[in-house]
Chain A
Amino acid sequence: MTTLETERVCWAPRGRLVVDDVSLQVEDGATVGLLGPNGSGKSSLIRILAGLRPPSSGDVLLDGSPLAGMSRRRLARRLAVVEQEPATSQDLRVRDVVALGRVPHRPAWAPDSAQDRAVVEEAAAHAGIADRLDQRFSTLSGGERQRTQIARALAQEPEILLLDEPTNHLDVRHQLALLALVRRMPMTCLVALHDLNLAAAYCDQVFVLSHGRVVAGGAPAEVLTESLIAEVYGVRARVHHDDGVVIRFLGPVS
């Protein structure tokens, strides 16, 4: 059992309140969606949950103990992040990228062990890029890059995986394939998403952010209502519940 929760977390870089009093709890083993319009604080919240930005106030708790007191290395073995469109200036092979996930598992001077290599192969197979391992990262398509980063995160063997809009810039087929992959993973996954229909189809639990605050949380069918979509996104919508939740957008709120 691993629990990730925030207790009244605020983040205000240079006095601008970006994350405002967020308290949430992520269910163990669930696929959890983080929703909200552009600039609502999703990416910031993910960085705070990953321990990459210390909150201005409040705490992030992993199994009840605050992240602030945990060593970076120990945290990296329990929690992995896939950032939005990570870029590198180096000419890495896919294998090099996936192998970065083993960095927190061995001393900085040590070579990779047979076990490290086995974990890398397995993670790549899981993410569906086993046949790409010797290719150059720079030659991959957007979907393959995301899968490579997910494989790297899996190689960290984390208990919790945070993904920041992993479906950005992917065509619809790749979006579905990627979220199906995330859903299949055994660990707890927190995914920032734009597409409400995808969130409804693939998440067990969603939180909706607006102006840095959590305005709703729970099962998608209960949270994603016509009135919430109108209020948070300023969009009129019809929500159908016949075969899972399907949302049809009608236009901006007049």
Chain B
Amino acid sequence: MPVRLPRPALMLAGAPLLVLVSVAGAITVGPSDLSIADVYGVVADRAGLGSTDLTLLQQSIVWDLRLPRTLLAGICGAGLAICGVILQSLLRNPLADPFVLGISSGASTGAVSIVVLGIGSGAIGLSTGAFAGALASFGLVLLLASLAGGTTDRLVLAGIAATQLFSALTSFIVFTAADAEQTRGVLFWLLGSLSSASWTDVLVCAVVVLGGLVCCIAGAGWLDAFAFGNDAAASLGVDVVRIRAVLLVLTALMTAVIVATSGAIGFVGLVLPHLARALVGVGHRLLLPATALLGAIFLIWVDTAARTMIDPEELPVGVATALVGVPAFALVLMRARR
């Protein structure tokens, strides 16, 4: 068993600082020689609090490319990790996460349909399509799993089925209806990438993920109560049907917005909650913020590695999270064996 470090609350207080350092540090990494002081200069300049002596190109690299990308990575990492905690707690399944359960795949299909059919565009339009897709695939998974008996492995198997189905649908839509440019985009939706991050994406994701986090922390006691199942939660005074519905829809919404801006990124939601539990314990009041912060730090650095590792090419971040995540997944799987 992991060692319980002292004062989880104190660690939690230090973690936001680590996120800040991660954001600033990650921006300096890459093919343009920048320091943390340069990054601070640009941010201060834009905020009207100082000035910077960088060239316009360098300023643009910081402000238009790397800063939104790094922030988006942090927000997506936090959001996916929170979704993992909620799904694992509500479905009582240590292997649950939006990617494994096919919610991300469904969201991808929804977003791709919007792009290809030309119904709408922009972060909001894509997110709406992704939300519809996420709900559809989540509904399918829960239905399949409950028809099959509702055990832990059935849920994961249903998730695999949904992932395959919706990945196939995404590819199908792209190859039949899209032009060459859009066809290249299929990799974006299937593997996940943060390369197109914009300030609008950052804003939309930040609102939804922060809102989701606050809602979930507000219901932390209810999430705790699900540890022994739905009946046990009900006997502890939780309105199971309503709370479950609200939290599952919230999960689908967060996943949808994240997928709409960055594609289907796997393993963040699966692995990080387990790490956070080992650090701060199982109580959701600490676990949720801890998982969010860990998820943010994790995805910021994995994305930084992904965009610089095989310079000048860029590795899709979903490939990088899978490379890190699969061994971690194997560890979780072995621990879940009872």
Contact = CB atoms under 8 A, between A and B. Distances in A.
Interface stretch (A82-90, A176-184, A193-201): A82-90
B232 A109 contact: no
A81 interface: yes
Contact of A89 (B152, B235, B236): B152
A89 B221 CA distance: 17
Nearest to A72: B237
A52 B282 CA distance: 25
Contacts of A51: 234-235
A51 B219 CA distance: 22
Nearest to A89: B92
Contact of A103 (B94, B236, B239, B281): B236
B285 interface: yes
A81 B230 CA distance: 13
Given A75-B237, A77-B237, A91-B277, A103 B221 contact: yes
Nearest to A156: B236
Contact of B235 (A81, A88, A90): A81
B220 A86 contact: no
A81 B92 CA distance: 20
B222 interface: yes
Contacts of B334: none
Contacts of B89: 90
A226 to B, nearest CB: 37
Given A72-B238, A86-B232, A100 B227 contact: yes
A109 B220 contact: yes
A251 interface: no
A240 interface: no
B234 A110 contact: no
Which secondary structure dominates where chain B touches chain A?
Answer: helix
Contact of A100 (B94, B236, B239, B277): B236
Nearest to A96: B282
Interface size class for chain B? Answer: 20 to 34
Interface string A86-120: 11111111001100110110111111000000000
A149 B113 CA distance: 50
Interface string B224-256: 110111011011111100000000000000000
A34 interface: no
Given A91-B282, A92-B282, A111-B285, A104 B231 contact: no
B1 interface: yes
Interface in B290-330: none
Contacts of A72: 234, 237-239
A75 B220 CA distance: 20
A111 B286 CA distance: 10
Contacts of A92: 227, 282
Given A86-B229, A88-B92, A111-B285, A50 B221 contact: no
B245 to A, nearest CB: 15
Nearest to B2: A91
| Residue among A74, A91, A101 with most chain B CB within 10 A | A91
Given A72-B239, A100-B224, A108 B232 contact: no
B222 to A, nearest CB: 5
B161 to A, nearest CB: 22
B52 interface: no
B219 A136 contact: no
B203 interface: no
Given A83-B231, A91-B277, A106 B239 contact: no
A211 interface: no
B282 A136 contact: no
Interface string A163-199: 0000000000000000000000000000000000000
Contacts of A236: none
A10 B140 CA distance: 33
A136 B4 CA distance: 12
B221 A107 contact: yes
A93 B282 CA distance: 9
A136 B338 CA distance: 14
Contact of B221 (A87, A90, A108): A108
B177 interface: no
Contacts of B152: 89
Contacts of A35: none
A208 B287 CA distance: 46
A89 B277 contact: no
B219 A104 contact: no
25 contacts: A51-B234, A52-B231, A76-B235, A81-B235, A83-B228, A83-B231, A87-B229, A89-B92, A90-B89, A96-B224, A100-B225, A103-B221, A103-B224, A103-B236, A103-B237, A103-B238, A106-B221, A108-B218, A108-B219, A108-B220, A109-B218, A111-B285, A136-B1, A138-B338, A156-B236
Given A89-B336, A100-B225, A104-B236, 17 more contacts: A51-B235, A52-B235, A72-B234, A72-B239, A76-B237, A77-B237, A88-B229, A90-B277, A91-B1, A93-B281, A100-B224, A103-B221, A103-B222, A103-B238, A108-B220, A109-B219, A109-B220
For the complex of A and B, 7 pairs with smallest distance between CB atoms:
A76-B237, A104-B237, A108-B221, A73-B237, A86-B228, A109-B218, A103-B236
Interface of A: 47, 50-52, 71-77, 80-81, 83, 86-93, 96-97, 100-101, 103-104, 106-111, 136, 138, 156
